[in-house]
A and B are shown apart, each in its own frame.
Chain A
Amino acid sequence: MELPELSQDELLRYSRHLILPEVGEEGQRRLKAARVLCVGAGGLGSPLALYLAAAGVGTLGLVDFDVVDASNLQRQILHSTNDIGRRKLDSAAEKLQALNPDLNLVKHDTKLSSANALDILKDYDIVADGTDNFPTRYLVNDACVLLGKPNVYGSIFRFEGQASVFAARDGPCYRCVYPEPPPPKLVPSCAEGGVLGVLPGLVGVIQATETVKLILGKGTTLAGRLLLVDALNMRFREVRLRKNPDCQICGAHPAFTQLIDYQQFCGIAPSIQEEIRIMNGVPQLTAAEVKRRMDAGEDLFILDVREPFEYQIANIGGTLIPLGQIPHRLHEIDREREIVVYCKFGARSQRAAEFLRQSGYSKVSNLAGGIMAWSNEVDPSLPRY
């Protein structure tokens, strides 16, 4: 492939790159010719896209269908306070074009799915995964393997990050490391478990670095290594990865050769009605069901296991005992009454409900989807956070 020439302006703009022997004019022209798809314009996508645009990557695709929320701004540095309510793609495009007007930015205003992933990914050389959920992570991995494209992986949770390069030629893929997703709702999302705002900056910049190295063909990438970032103790460690010969997607005899239903694979049903009604012995109630029973005057002990600050933002009148305090405050929970536990999304309350059952409480249910489901299904005036 013939590499594009650099203009006078570009020679000036990228002068600090051009004097690096590992980049030079050829490397900069490679960057200009490169087409990188960034999946997600959120926490990881922000530093990724900003640095790739700054570095002179010629074509940058962004996939996102979300809008900017106030709670994003603590870490998603592509977006500003004025962008709240705007489409993330529009907000991102504005910042990236301002940073580098030569950038060819391609906006994919859609949710990446099995139906569109191969079509979207096929036009790019490298995919950088900045997703925040397991179905999309497996989808991106599998699509990259099927198309033979490197997948620059990053993930974050609380103070912990991971990064690697998957599906590079002969290297292991995400499924080689994690053949199966964790059970649904076992691993809380960042919205549920929290994340240090600067952590996606750290991990996203590692992804950007790996992407640039892949384009340049220089250095040693993280292919075959999983980098573990512990921000709290600022420790970086790496785990060696091997290609799994029995991997379901990249092994010698793959179990499937096309994309699958990733929601189903990850055990996530499309709607609450279809979800498992009992999880680990705990009945799962919908918000509407709980509301109906409260309205009917049933004697329910509504237990809120969130933190006090969350209770202040929004509550449905339950008794507040934060999850961590439950073992010490069992005497405040009446064993005879029927207990409905809730939290923000339903994961902490599930843990609390399981604990209560183990502690001898027989009538304990979980409000599936938590107070956010309540806000969606029962009372839209309830603040979302």
Chain B
Amino acid sequence: MSVLQLTRAVYDAIRAHGEETYPRECCGALLGTPAADGWRIEASVKARNTRTDSARNRYSIAPAELVKIEREARGRGLSIGGFYHSHPDHPAEWSQADLAEAHWIGCSYVIVAVALGKAAAIHSFLLAGNAEEDKRFVAERIEILESQETQFESK
């Protein structure tokens, strides 16, 4: 089983973001470096959920914003290692829509459940496979690193 290492600050930031946008889904990117058995995430970037039509149960990051996040990550010597989003009043399990919308094979997809406005369970899934045709989510373990961390907003 792969392991997603999150610093305490990133872990807290994801949960706080989920509560902040409740009852809408929040979303963002996770920046880090590859570790032996998964990603080591050192920063999170809040993104705007562009799904105004169905923001309670769908999320989407605008391509131009993603390009910007990728560029900013590179400038900090990091890569996009994953994405996170919230499931307002819904379990922290991936949906078929989540899988259909996930394209970054090898990246971690974190889902935080937000029940009645409070962050609850948080799970991570590695997008495994070689291509769109055989991609699949595989549950991975989240390990929290108790160290200094940063969080910045996508501007």
Please list the residues of chain A having a beta carbon within 8 angstroms of any beta carbon in chain B: 160, 162, 177-178, 226, 228, 230, 232-233, 235, 237-241
Contacts and interface: CB of A to CB of B under 8 A. Distances in A.
B74 A226 contact: no
Given A232-B74, A233-B74, A235-B79, A162 B103 contact: no
Contact of B103 (A228, A235, A238): A238
Contacts of B63: 177, 226, 239-241
Contacts of A230: 70, 74
Interface in B41-95: 63-64, 66-67, 70-71, 74, 79-80
25 contacts: A160-B71, A160-B74, A162-B67, A177-B63, A177-B64, A178-B64, A226-B63, A226-B67, A228-B70, A230-B70, A230-B74, A232-B74, A233-B74, A233-B79, A235-B79, A237-B70, A237-B80, A237-B104, A238-B103, A239-B63, A239-B66, A239-B67, A240-B63, A240-B103, A241-B63
B67 A228 contact: yes
A74 B68 CA distance: 27
A257 to B, nearest CB: 24
A9 B47 CA distance: 57
A220 to B, nearest CB: 10
A195 B82 CA distance: 29
A167 to B, nearest CB: 16
Best-surrounded residue of B63, B66, B67, B71 (most CB of chain A within 10 A): B63
A160 B74 CA distance: 10
Interface residues of B, number: 11
A245 to B, nearest CB: 10
Kindly list the 8 A-B residue pairs having the minimum CB-CB distance in the complex, ordered from nearest. Answer: A239-B63, A239-B66, A177-B63, A240-B103, A241-B63, A178-B64, A177-B64, A226-B63
A18 B106 CA distance: 37
Contacts, number: 26
Nearest to B104: A237
A240 B135 CA distance: 15
A interface majority secondary structure = strand
A230 B74 CA distance: 9
A5 B67 CA distance: 45
A162 B63 CA distance: 12
Contacts of A178: 64
Contacts of A177: 63-64
Contacts of A239: 63, 66-67
Given A177-B63, A233-B79, 16 more contacts: A160-B71, A160-B74, A162-B67, A177-B64, A178-B64, A226-B63, A226-B67, A230-B70, A230-B74, A232-B74, A235-B79, A237-B70, A237-B104, A239-B66, A240-B103, A241-B63
A159 B70 CA distance: 13
Nearest to A172: B63
Contacts of A162: 67
Contacts of A226: 63, 67
Best-surrounded residue of A162, A178, A228, A233 (most CB of chain B within 10 A): A228
Nearest to B80: A237
Best-surrounded residue of A226, A238, A239, A241 (most CB of chain B within 10 A): A239
A228 B67 CA distance: 8
A163 to B, nearest CB: 12
Best-surrounded residue of A160, A232, A240, A241 (most CB of chain B within 10 A): A240
B109 to A, nearest CB: 14
A26 B35 CA distance: 49
Nearest to A238: B103
A225 B66 CA distance: 13
Nearest to B107: A237
A240 B105 CA distance: 13
Contacts of B70: 228, 230, 237
Contacts of B71: 160
Contacts of A232: 74
B49 to A, nearest CB: 14
Interface string B118-145: 0000000000000000000000000000
Nearest to B60: A242
A240 B74 CA distance: 20
Contacts of A238: 103
Nearest to B103: A240
Nearest to A241: B63
Nearest to A230: B74
B79 to A, nearest CB: 7
Contacts of B64: 177-178
A220 B55 CA distance: 31
A353 B66 CA distance: 29
